[in-house]
Structure 1
Amino acid sequence: MTGAPSISGTTRLYVVLGHPVAQVRSPALMNPLFARLGIDAVLVPVHARPEHLERIVDGLRCVGNVDGIFVTVPHKAAVVALADRCSPMVEIAGSANALRRDADGSWYAENFDGLGFVAGLVAAGHEPKGRRVALVGAGGAGSAIAAALLSAGVDRLSVCDPDTARLAGLRSRLDAHWPGRTVTSAEPDLDGADLVVNATPLGLDPDDPLPFRPDLLPPGGVVADIIMHPRETRLLREAAALGHDVHYGIHMLDGQLDSYRAFFRLTDVPPTTRPRDVGHRARPYHDTRG
């Protein structure tokens, strides 16, 4: 199967929630996957403003043929409270980027941003183990990336975010698992960093300011951006012009593909054969079982 998906009355639905959604790349990744696997499903973008998020998620829970929800900016933290169960990674990061409807009708939250980012780094030849990393942004994606980088063995992680309360919460959760390996600050701390990651939305708009000044980086470092569209942000252009290796945002999504296949069970149990919940919302609770 190639080309546009064929939509019928049996088609299973997946959505990606964001504000905005024009930049999302997950439909271009997942819809060809559905086609290759012969799965009658489609992923579509849904523009969800923050003040409408809970109502939209509640509505999607009531739609009997919705199997999964992908989540992008700025909803990754807020959506955790709308899940029935969440993974250990979600507990550490405090954010989720995917929700799966299970056979009992409950919704299980996971976060693949960090795992996908690290997988993309490794595939591009930028092994994070032993590196000194500066991470700019402690939001939904940044928090998951922080946990994944520490798990991958970075030597030192510096995280900055102007939201001091959010930063303190993340630091506490990270220290519980990887004590003494994280430092935090309100402004970017680039001192000695050989990998710097922009995990903020700065760069989605061409008029956005830079998240940090690449001219302050030591020579020979890698500059990574998680923004996927535009592919080449102003940050990456300026970093490349200064001689730094650059790492594009699309690599993070590419690195998540196998994880999504397993999480949504796209290779073992066809979605059309799984029991469905037609609207009952279970009482929310958090579970650390995978």
Structure 2
Amino acid sequence: MANLGSNLAELLDIGAKGAIHIGLLGRGIGASLSPTMHRQEGERQGLDYHYHLIDFDALALGNEHLGDVVDLLEKVGFRGVNVTHPFKQAILEHLNDLAPDAKQIGAVNTVIFDGGQRVGHNTDCWGFAESFRLGLPQVPRKRVLQIGTGGAGAAVARALIEVGVEDLFVFDTDPSRSQGLAARMRDMDYQVTAITDISSVSSFDGIVNATPIGMDKYPGMPVDPERLGAGQWVADIIYFPRETQLISRAEAAGCSTLPGTGMAIFQAVKAFELFTGRIPSREEMTRSFQAAD
């Protein structure tokens, strides 16, 4: 804990009582636009609102320090934290309780500290579903392939079912993760099939990337671009860069596309509400995101 205190020294004295301090826990998050959206919405609402990036890469912290960091942030008076890659499932063991959405999904991206309790929520699911409803309102949804079934992927899979996908096929380089997700969702009477070879299924109405592939830190494409064609739709959860290689190639192939920007904005909208108890302006948070981007 002493070394953590040294690395996080600027957070140990967080200022006047009544201020709201939020953290974002993750790796390689220096380009995140969450601080901008949250801070500007807090200012617009007249709150003393502070949003801190806690980048385990920049701080040279190992994954094993996650629990100690959460302990420290709660101790110094943070209201809560957002959680991103690679901690959305690892955070579960450091919480006291889960909201119903997070319990069903098995992943958390928002934690509220309240009277000695740490309650995990998942705003990614609602964020992706809302983005999908607005960005791809008329696309076919019978057969959909999702690549990636980690913390974000679990939320996206649930969201895809909520927006009307009939048959969802999930793939992961770790088959145990995709099989585990499919089993949990089948227990809730959802039609989800884990596959170990993408080429084993001949065609899809849509393809969703729920992996980090395409981020600046993980360049590339999660699927062979030869599988993309006119009439399909392609969604990505990555928002930096705003246009991933997958989205660019999909547009060139004539696909309808949904970049990760909508999910990034709407998950923040719901998280701000949880942190503050106030209804944020999605329009203003969208403008903040677009201006910063």
The bucket for the TM-score relative to the shorter chain is: 0.7 to 0.9
Pick closer, same or farther for the CA change 1:164–1:125 going to 2, 3 Å. Answer: closer
Q: Larger relative CO (CA 8 A, sep 6+): 1 or 2?
A: 1
CA distance in 2, matches of 1:128, 1:139: 25
Matches within 5 A, 1:87-236: 87-102=99-114, 104-126=115-137, 130-179=141-190, 181-188=191-198, 191-205=202-216, 208-236=219-247
Is 1:76 aligned to residue 88 of structure 2? yes
Which 10-residue stretch deviates more, 130-139 or 70-79? 130-139
Once the 2 structures are TM-superposed, how far is the Cα of residue 231 of structure 1 from its aligned partner?
Answer: 0.4
Equivalent in the alignment of 1:53: 66
Pick closer, same or farther for the CA change 1:166–1:97 going to 2, 3 Å. Answer: same
TM-score, normalization by structure 2 = 0.82
**Structure 1, unpaired ranges of 5+:** 1-6, 269-290
Provide the aligned C-alpha RMSD in A.
2.0
Once the 2 structures are TM-superposed, how far is the Cα of residue 197 of structure 1 from its aligned partner?
Answer: 0.8
Once the 2 structures are TM-superposed, how far is the Cα of residue 225 of structure 1 from its aligned partner?
Answer: 0.9
- 8 Å contact from structure 1 (residues 129, 152) kept in 2: no
Pick closer, same or farther for the CA change 1:142–1:128 going to 2, 3 Å. Answer: farther
Q: What is the letter of the counterpart of residue 166 of structure 2?
A: D
CA distance in 1, matches of 2:138, 2:86: 29
Alignment partner for residue 267 of structure 1, among 252, 270, 278?
A: 278
Is 1:20 aligned to residue 28 of structure 2? yes
- What is the SS of the residue equivalent to 2:93? helix
- 8 Å contact from structure 2 (residues 129, 162) kept in 1: no
- 8 Å contact from structure 2 (residues 243, 259) kept in 1: yes
- 8 Å contact from structure 1 (residues 224, 248) kept in 2: yes
Equivalent in the alignment of 1:63: 76
CA distance in 2, matches of 1:88, 1:128: 29
Equivalent in the alignment of 1:251: 262
Bigger proportion of residues as helix: 2
- What is the SS of the residue equivalent to 2:73? helix
Once the 2 structures are TM-superposed, how far is the Cα of residue 26 of structure 1 from its aligned partner?
Answer: 1.1
Alignment partner for residue 16 of structure 2, among 9, 17, 20?
A: 9
Pick closer, same or farther for the CA change 1:37–1:127 going to 2, 3 Å. Answer: farther
Report the count of equivalent residues.
259
The superposition leaves residues 162-192 of structure 1 with CA deviations (integer Å, 9 ceiling, x where unpaired) of 212222221121011124x111113335633
Pick closer, same or farther for the CA change 1:234–1:262 going to 2, 3 Å. Answer: same
- What is the SS of the residue equivalent to 1:209? coil
Equivalent in the alignment of 1:282: none
Equivalent in the alignment of 1:279: none
**Structure 2, unpaired ranges of 5+:** 1-13, 57-61, 280-293
Q: What is the letter of the counterpart of residue 79 of structure 1?
A: I
- What is the SS of the residue equivalent to 1:149? helix
Identity across the alignment (%): 31
CA distance in 2, matches of 1:138, 1:97: 15
The superposition leaves residues 23-62 of structure 1 with CA deviations (integer Å, 9 ceiling, x where unpaired) of 3221121111101111111111101242321211121121
CA distance in 1, matches of 2:94, 2:146: 27
Pick closer, same or farther for the CA change 1:135–1:249 going to 2, 3 Å. Answer: same
Pick closer, same or farther for the CA change 1:129–1:246 going to 2, 3 Å. Answer: closer
CA distance in 1, matches of 2:186, 2:105: 12
Equivalent in the alignment of 2:287: none
Once the 2 structures are TM-superposed, how far is the Cα of residue 130 of structure 1 from its aligned partner?
Answer: 4.0
